[in-house]
Structure 1
Amino acid sequence: MRGAHLLHLTLLVSIVSVCYNMSHGETYNVANSMMTCKYKFQNKLFKMCVFLQIEARSADGETLDGPYSVVLQVVDVNNNPPVFSENQYSGRVREHSPAGVPFMQAFATDADDPNTLNAQLRFSIVNQIPNPGKVFYFGINPDNAEIFITEEGAEFLRARPTVRYSRGEVHGSPEVLKKKFEDYCIPRNNIPLENNPFYTCIERAERREVNLLQDPDYALIVRAEDLGGGAPNALSSTTRVNIAIIQNLWVRPGPITIRENLEEEYPMYLTTVRANDPTALYRLVQKERLSFPFTINQNGEIYVIAPLDREEKNMYTLVVMAEDEQGVELEKPMEIHVRVEDENDNPPVCDEAVFEVQENEPIGNPIGVLPAHDSDEEGTLNSFLDYTLLSQMPPKPFGKMFTINQDNGEIKVANKYFQRKEVPQYVLTFSVTDGVHTTECKAIIKVIDINNEIPVFEKKDYGTHSVPELAEVGTTLLTIKATDADDPGTGSSKVEYHITAGDPHNLFAIEVNEATGEGRVYIARPLDYELQNVFSLQIDARNPEPLIEGVEYNENATTFVVIQLVDVDELPEFEADTLNVNVPENITVGTIIMTAEAKDPEGKTIKFKMEGDEHNWLELDADSGELKTKAALDRETVEKISLTIIAYETEGDKQEAEMKVDIHLLDVNDNYPKLQKTQGFICIQDMTPLTLTAVDKDADPYGEPFTFSINRKSPNFEIKPLDGTSVQLILKKKPSSDLNATVPINIKDNAGMGITQKFDVRICNCTKLGYCYIEPGAHSWKLGMSGTIGILAGIFGFLILFLIILFYRIKKNGQQSAAAPEETKAMI
């Protein structure tokens, strides 16, 4: 290297992962041992790295050193801030909308490497204008920038006050506004409405074309931040989101209360519902099969048509439907609850009452509760009963052997010295009142022998009994019996059976046969071998009457039985039999919608399969039960996907279980309004406006009402709104002759999404039938004099040629006819 004044570094090899403008064998002059790069590397081009080989050569090309391998690793740096797709976004949301449901979305991108944090964006709301209470009415999904209203927003957001229109009323119509004004503000001093400043103010406000998105109710400052958000060196950008609050008339009235047996003129008005579409047709759907004394008219007014009876039904649920003329729902069904208020129109009613009292019954012991009830509303004064003992027959040995609690009707012993031989039974008369109605009730109290004997089981142990774990509830397992030597037919000898041990979950119960005294042990709840398979039951026999002092229950009044469950191969079990899932139609392909969770009672391995995916949009992981999208969903194709997910065993009997899953596709704003017709004509004579109608496949709030506008102020055309889907295209000036025109019309949906569409208009003179008339005029196919003479000469020449050919054929045929006889003679 000594003596070398100039070295040449030669790039021998350039290997990159993508094509790039670098040549092999390129030479660089290096005088200061530094090599600079004259290319601007971009990580989006160099996905991996650049491999170089470099050697040093003298001026005459001799290799002095090398070659050496150099690897240039291209690393992305965070040098690109997020960029929103729009400078401003506009959206609409109806008041009273549910919290957490997205109604619009912002979009932002980052030019950095998408596989690094440099392009991982996080969205947030920086500010809400106005926000006087420092409470955010809107929220944003930090991952996808979907904007929704919060719980506070659902409660407090309200639209600007406006006039409400009924069915058939045209928005902003002068006739309709006059009627509205007369309904609300009767003019004074006979001032004409046109001169009334209050009316003209309303008229201007209602008839002007106000773009609420240019004059929003709220403005949100939304920030997109890279590096996953929150990093001190993160890059960010902001955008403005304008939000208009749209009036929501489809609001459920509060609970309605009607007093039963109300004497009024029927039908009686209850309340009014109002759809957001003034053309809606209303109807009531009956949920119950009972009588349904309600009706609704086309103005949404609900009436009750007959008096109600609370004892027949105390609550009605009215389901109101708002539909168009084809029966398509314009609003979600609304439920209105009508409560029937109780009237004290039912007297107390007493059932048969027979009680027993032992001869030695202590004072204060309860005998029983008088069975009385009132059919009026429970928990009100109308059904609160007051009890009074009127008489006792016979009045022996004392006139007051019993007493009754005034509030709850409990009968107790008030004296002693009951003598069965003297008085075998008492008849008590009570007064029961609800404050308005009074009923007399009677009770029979039998005097019985003392309870000095205990029940005794026939067997002290009933052994072991086997039963399949899937045996039905109510299945009899065995019959037991205990007897009592006390006076037959009394509470002292009556036997009751109780399971006192071995059944912590109350899976078994005992039913007593009153005639035989036997107890039927049966299954009271479903059994499960995997939870518990052996039950050692202790059963005690008891009397309803207390034993006399000194007598106690012992082991003779107790028996035992063992219940052994037999294992059965059971079906797999889902956590739920049915499942409803709401999914936005624009959900990313590959997103997990839900996870089916099931288990096998015996612990066997289970797998999953799916039925019902008619559009082949979904896929189910057979092992995990994860249900994902594998194609784009489209609510306009189908609103609900009904699936059957099957869990099945992979071994043994391969038992199966099913779960029904309904996936409801939530509408997103993925369709813009389109004109139904793109051309038309206007007659010059009357200049009748054209009616333009647009349709949008999206549902509320992404559909109608639409906003129509002409992009540039047109000197010849203007538009006038008719309703939420139609406008009139008006020709402002009458042209001097027929002409064709193309009008660019911008149509936006309720959320502000739309495009400019062309409408072709022919302006023409019309016939009496109303169609364009085309006047005859000069035609390009007409010829001059010379052309006409040429055509005639050609025709004349053709005729002469035709006659010459004809004469020649006639002459030739004559010569052939003359020669024919001579030829015949020669042949003979």
Structure 2
Amino acid sequence: MTQQSLDTEAYHGTSHNAPAAAQPPHRHKGPVSITINVLDVNNHAPSFNQTDYNGIVKERTPAGVPFARVFATDLDDPESPNAHLSYTLVSQIPNRDNTLFFQINSNTGDISTTAEGERLLKAREGVVHSRGGDFRDSLKKKFDEYCTPTDDIPYELNPFYSCVQRAESRRLNPLEDPDFTLIVRVEDMGGESLNALNGNARVNIAVQENLWVQSNDPSALYRLVQKERELTFPFNVTEEGDILLTEELDREDKAMYILVVFAEDSHGNEVDPPLEVQVVVDDVNDNPPICEEELSSPIGDLMVHDADDINTPNALLSYSLVSQTPSSVFTIDGISGRIQAKQMLQRRDATEYHLTVRVNDPGFSTECKVLIKVIDINNELPIFEMNDYGSHNLSEDTAVGHTLLTLPHRVPHNRGQQDGVFAMETDDNGEGRLVVAKIDARNPEPLVKGLEYGAESSAVVSLAIIDVDEAPVFAMDILDVAVPEDTKEGATLLKINAKDPEGKEILFKMEGDTKGWLEIDPATGEIKIKNKAVLDRETVEAFHFTVVAFEKANPELSSEREVSVRLLDVNDNVPKLTENQAFICVKKPQPIVLTALDADADPFGAPFTFSLAQGKKSPNWDLSTVDGTSAKLTLKKSPSEDKTFLIPINIKDNAGMGITQKFEVRVCNCTELGYCFTKPDVHAGVLGMPTTVGILAGTVGFIALVLVIAFHRIKKDNQKKALQGETDAIL
């Protein structure tokens, strides 16, 4: 048994020798070795190596980049979970918007900024001095800029200077006046147990202005580039990291610049991550107000633009009226620039007003010219000179736009209604009758409130419509016909519809039928295909002619319309070979290309189907298709002597219509130029048996014909003499 508590930090594993006693008759020799392992329990809390830590962070330090670190230890067994430490951030002071600017790595204790901290951390305003310079010199220079120094009082004895000096001294020691205080906690057992032990510490953080670029490597060289692709880049960086302005800036051209600073060694290698710097250009009053509308403007807000920052007093404008002609009837709001009329405007008094407006900002003044036009409104009644303008005659063929009567009405600036003035009526026979038309002088725009039209704004006109004999009128303006080309003779092509406005009898005639295919019924206007006329699309695809309709009693009154006829294709043609004979040289046989044409259009034309008429393969010839209109005829076996072949070839069009045609091929010996020839020693002076028989038969036939004619003449003369003898006997 143990006599005191064990500590695993003092006894990790202990061996002891103990004597052994046994009851007789059993005996043991020597001591027995016993090993006792002391197991660790979590009885030590972790502790930081400091109670207070200090850290300095610059503005816009990238999130996640450590700038401080805390460290803690635990006396428990480092191999057990009891010594597994975890760091957490308990609180941030101050934390006004409940936004954490800092974070801590739970495993390493590294402290860095959050994304919000990178964006929002700002340093207190203070004295800025160049890196490597004397703080006291910078402080004196800044004090001289803002205060009036006294020659007989040293800086150190000036109470204002001492106050500023003490404040700036605290800025150099974060413990005296930190910007933020963080409470950090460390827990053992990985911070995952409710029984974990913990320790706490403070971290005091001061935020410094990032007015110059400074690397952790004192030998770093700095290079400045622009993030945006701009034509001008008015910045430079010194060897110490000071960013300098090389030329004057203009906020109206560019309000912000984004710079990227690289810290590199002498070999061009980066020693620190690139730093992004945003330069915001403050506005100064360097732009005068500009009038956007110099010539004319409606009554309302005056459009004036100032290029200075609208969020500064530099763009605060004030307005005043300098002059107005022909009279002073307008006012202007000094803040908004809104122009208003002080009284009701009358267009009879003035149609235009010219105003001069002065626009001021804190440093500039501009005059704007404003033209105000008075627009007419419907505020006066029109009045006719008479209420009845009498009776008038009007022919029914009066041209559009003809002035029959002028109806004046007195109104200073109003136009009367001009459409729907006359109401004209005719009966079915075209007879005119008296029409009474009431004329109202109205404006499409409503009258102003309080005015209404009365009897003085209306007048009556009586019109008598006189009938006029007019030419016949066709029912349709466009006459187009499409018929198949195989339409039979006597078939009706179309019937012309026309009538006379006065109901008189009309007749029809046709002009321009150059093919002579058509005829028209003069009474009915029915157009038919003539007898024996054959329409052929392959001859003419479309043709035109004119139909004339005229009064029977007065043919001079006529109207005409052009008729367009389009012939539709039918399959009335078969494919035909363009050539019907050819020859092949025996020594150098070449295939013959057969080409066919079909006068019909698609789908009754190509592609064609070529085949040998026998319907089976030929021992001497082979026929294969080349394209839609051609085929290739090939000699498979050469004859022993010159020979002429008549080959039947069947050609069908795309619709399957076709005929069999004979194609003559002479197979022969050829000259060097590739033409057939006959040897002189074989055929010279020798006639074959068929030729000899033909010559003899022709000669015999000719002799027989001469004898028949001679006997016929003799017989005719004898008959004539006998008839003459009989006549003489009667007399």
TM-score by length of 1: 0.38
Give the TM-score normalised by the residue count of structure 2: 0.43
Higher Rg of the two aligned structures: 2
